[in-house]
Amino acid sequence: MMRDRSRGKVYLVGAGPGDPELLTLRALRLLKRAEVVLYDRLVSPAVLEQVNPRAQLVYVGKELGEQDRVQEFILHQLLHHARSGKKVVRLKGGDPLVYGRGGEEWLFLTEKGIEVEVVPGVSSALAVPALAGIPLTMRGVSGGFAVLSGHTQGGRLPDLTPYTRVDTLVVLMGIKERSRIAQELVRVGRRPEEPVAFIERGSTPQERVVVSTLGEVAAGGSEVQPPAVWVIGEVVRIRARLKPLEASTALEPRPALSP
């Protein structure tokens, strides 16, 4: 497909986990120069403060049951603004190609002849556990990890059997389905006594960590509010040694970074 260079360009940009200090330099430069920014629900207000004040901000967050309709609107907006010659930033929480339908948007625009550049972001799956004091791999504790989307397809959970064979499991989203997911993980072979950490609003001053077990979550315990990343595995126990003061309570806000 030939591209019309007189048209605008779309940048698929990762906003990171929420703290603007974790934006890449490339992402920050593009936000300062953008003419139109389409941003998701998981993009923090602190990140949006970095956007060119003259840019048009378009909120395209998806609520339950509206995903397909909103996605069609997003594609239409991206195409419209790019064909108008604008510099368009499609801003997504975390990394734009990890559970954000970024690949679909990239393919759609490419097929329409629109130039696209991907700007990787710091994935919440990696950054949020690390900032909370949970290493995803550690010699003698965890030799590997997997990342799972907690969203269901038509109310059905995916086959979770492969996730019994990894030491550490990171679940993005899926807080409303946490009991069902935990029940299924126990059913297919994960131990109910395995520790679980839920990290709400990771990397921001509103961060909160709730530690439980897979069995307790399956039974309906652990009050957690989205957005949150959850980590399942023995690495969760390491947190008490890395951050002993914070780990002494289930509720601890993350301090704001110094200027």
Q: Annotated active-site positions, please? A: 40, 62, 173
Pairing of strands 36-39, 56-59: parallel
Integer-rounded Cα Rg, in Å, for the chain is: 19
Tokens of 182: 């935990």
Helix or strand run (H / E) with residue 108: helix 102-111
* 16 CB neighbour count, 10 Å cutoff: 27
Q: What's 39's DSSP letter? A: E
CB-CB contact of 70 with 38 (8 Å): no
User: What's the CA gap between 102 and 95, in Å, rounded?
Assistant: 9
User: What's the CA gap between 247 and 38, in Å, rounded?
Assistant: 37
